[in-house]
Amino acid sequence: MNHKIKKWQLTVGLEVHIQLSTKTKMFCPCPSKYGATPNTLICPICLGLPGALPSINREAINMAIRLGHALNFKINKKTEFSRKNYYYPDLPKGYQISQFDKPICLEGFIEFEKNNEKKMIGITRAHLEEDSGKLIHHSNNHSFVDLNRAGSPLIEIVSEPEIHSSEDARLYLEKLKQTIEYINISDCDMEKGNLRVDINVSVNKKGDNSLGTRREIKNLNSFKAVQKAINFEYTEQIKIIENGKKVIQSTLTWDEKNNKTKILRKKEDAHDYRYFPEPDLPPLLISDEQIESAKVNLAELPNDKKIRFKKEYSLKNQDINILISNLDLANYFEKLTSKTNLPQITANWILVEILHYLNSNNIKINQFPIEIDKMAELIKLFDNKELTNLNAKKLFNIMMKSKEKPSDLIKKYNLKTIKDDDLLETAIQDIFKKNPTEFKRLKNGDHKLIGFFMGQAMRTLKGKADPKSIQEIINKLIG
């Protein structure tokens, strides 16, 4: 199989729906929010009742312009809304207001790093549209419809079919999500459906000029599922072609349980939707001032933050990449460092101890239990060698459950480093006396025993001595 796969090229295009975090819906004043009692956030406009007239949400337009700047788009100064006609129980209007041939953003690109090399993927367009409602399927063959989400603002971001591996698809999505979080237009919470991914997958013979027929897999709910679905489709489509059959354009879902795609229906083309200009909304004109002011007020983007972190804090590249992967984490690092004045040591504590704690407890940095001032104090005590590595970690764990100050906890639990060399020397002499045979062997040049005595000393001194000092004293005592 493997030698066969090599002559087939994989091509992927991604369509990402992002729910914008505006206060109200796209075309009506209903609140756009998650988790309310079903069918309480609705009005004649989002229900499409006769005579109701939509009006455009300015906040959503400004968010789209911000996205336009962040992803290197050209912004269409004259943009239009159209009706996309289809029927589904979660869409009682019978049409979705979307954008067809005049999307707000055109021809952008995303840049990400792969193995220290820059890669660029083109983005065809990004357009605004309204979300549908939600169907809730009940176990006893009943379904319910909740229209709270109907009319919430979405921006759909459509990549060029320029992605040729499932890993590149993930890197593209991660960078997209990171950028959107930075410019604060969505929380991208995939569990709430605020970031949904559709993938278009095709294969063709390497060197062929045209792409193969694509199959679209809808509504993937994690980046892991995206990667798995792409890999599955790749081998599946090769199988179809090599068995002498044709790939048929169709819409599929990802079956998470069985790790395979499942065909839903033959794919519709754009003309099936009978797009026509929305008669209730005039074309939308965007001024140069509006575009400029969004640019001036744009938050620092991931690449700029990376350059600044390198310059300001001189951290290792791989440390910066992790710190800036999440905006809250990057902000936490800056705040903590402003209190410690120790950028690299602070970064080390975040990347090792704090991230480990967050991951194993499945929480975010803003739920981290230690107050930032106390965390800074701990880092400074460690840097001043008031605490050994071992006891600093011990204190870190104690602080997770205690509100007391680190300096008080050090006294309470007797963790302070013993810096008095005479004291250390007496303790080590004592250990030598208790282990005469080992001491003799060490004195006769068996250096493996240094480890043994180090361990004994650390235990006796309860981790309160700097291992380096212990080693120096042992060396001194054996001459």
Binding site for Zn ion (CB under 5 A): 28, 30, 43, 45-46
**Distance in angstroms (rounded) separating the CA atoms of residues 399 and 417:** 18
Q: Which positions ≥6 away from 107 have C-beta within 8 Å?
A: 73, 74, 122, 123, 124, 125
In whole angstroms, how close is the CB of 299 to Mn ion at the nearest point?
26
Joined together, the tokens standing for residue 428 give 């080590």
For residues 158 and 415, which CB has a smaller minimum distance to Mn ion in the complex? 158
Contact (Cβ atoms closer than 8 angstroms) between residue 351 and residue 368: no
Q: By the criterion CB under 5 A, which residues form the site for Mn ion?
A: 156
Which residue, 176 or 449, is less far from Mn ion as judged by CB?
A: 176
State the binding partner of 264 from Zn ion, Mn ion, none, CB within 5 to 8 A by kind. none
Question: Based on CB atoms, which residue is closest to Mn ion, 156 or 181?
Answer: 156
Which one, 97 or 474, has the nearer CB to Mn ion?
A: 97
Q: Taking the CA atoms of 355, 357, 362 and 367 in sequence, report the sign of the dihedral they define.
A: negative
CB of 17 to Mn ion, least distance (A): 6
Give me the least distance between CB of 38 and Mn ion, in Å please: 23
Residue 78: what are its φ and ψ, rounded to 5°?
-125, 105
Q: Which residues are CB-contacts of 163 (< 8 A; sequence separation ≥ 6)?
A: 11, 12, 13, 14, 121, 169, 172
Residue 151 CB partners (closer than 8 Å, separation 6+): 25, 26, 27, 28, 30, 32, 45, 46, 130, 131
Closest approach, Cβ 146 to Zn ion, in A, equals: 14
For the purposes of burial, counting CB atoms within 10 Å of the CB of 160, is it exposed (0-12), middle (13-18) or buried (19 or more)? middle
d(CA 399, CA 236): 53
Residue 324 sits at φ, ψ, to 5 deg, of: -90, -5
DSSP H or E segment with residue 178: helix 166-182
Measured from the CB atom, the residue of 20 and 28 that comes closer to Zn ion is: 28
The entry of Mn ion, Zn ion, none that residue 363 binds, CB within 5 to 8 Å by partner kind: none
Alpha carbon distance 102, 479 (integer Å): 83
Nearer to Zn ion, 168 or 278 (CB): 278
Of 18 and 61, the one with the shorter C-beta distance to Mn ion is 18
Please, what is the end-to-end C-alpha distance for the chain in angstroms? 66
Choose among Mn ion, Zn ion, none what residue 30 binds, the Cβ cut-off being 5 to 8 Å by kind: Zn ion
Query: Measuring CA to CA, how many Å separate 71 from each of 179, 222, 414?
Result: 8, 22, 54
What is the SS3 assignment for 360? Answer: helix
Residue 84 beta carbon to Mn ion: minimum distance, rounded to whole angstroms: 8
Residue closer to Zn ion (CB basis): 24 or 261 = 24
* Comparison of 16 and 376: residue with beta carbon closer to Mn ion: 16
CB of 136 to Zn ion, least distance (A): 20
Minimum distance of Zn ion from residue 185's CB (angstroms): 21
Smallest separation (angstroms) from Zn ion to the CB of 25: 5
The distance of closest approach from Cβ of residue 57 to Zn ion in the complex, given in angstroms and rounded to an integer, is 11
Q: Choosing among Zn ion, Mn ion, none, which partner's interface includes residue 46 (Cβ < 5 to 8 Å by kind)?
A: Zn ion
- CA-CA distance, 64 to 276, in Å (whole number)? 22
Q: Which does 156 bind (CB under 5 to 8 A by kind): Mn ion, Zn ion, none?
A: Mn ion
C-alpha distances (whole Å) from 85 to each of 92, 133, 273 are 11, 15, 5
| Residue 195 contact, options Mn ion, Zn ion, none, Cβ 5-8 Å cut-off depending on partner type | none
H/E stretch holding 285 reads strand 284-285
Residue-wise burial string across 41-55, b where 16 or more C-beta atoms lie within 10 A, e elsewhere: bbeebbbbeeeeebe
Residue 457 binds which entry of Mn ion, Zn ion, none, CB below 5-8 Å type-dependent? none
**In the complex, residue closest to Mn ion by CB:** 156
What is the residue-wise DSSP string for 21-53?
--SB-SSSSSB--SSPPTT-S--HHHHT-TT--
From the CB of 154, what's the least distance to Mn ion, in Å?
7
Nearer to Zn ion, 281 or 477 (CB): 281
372 binds, among Zn ion, Mn ion, none (CB under 5 to 8 A by kind): none
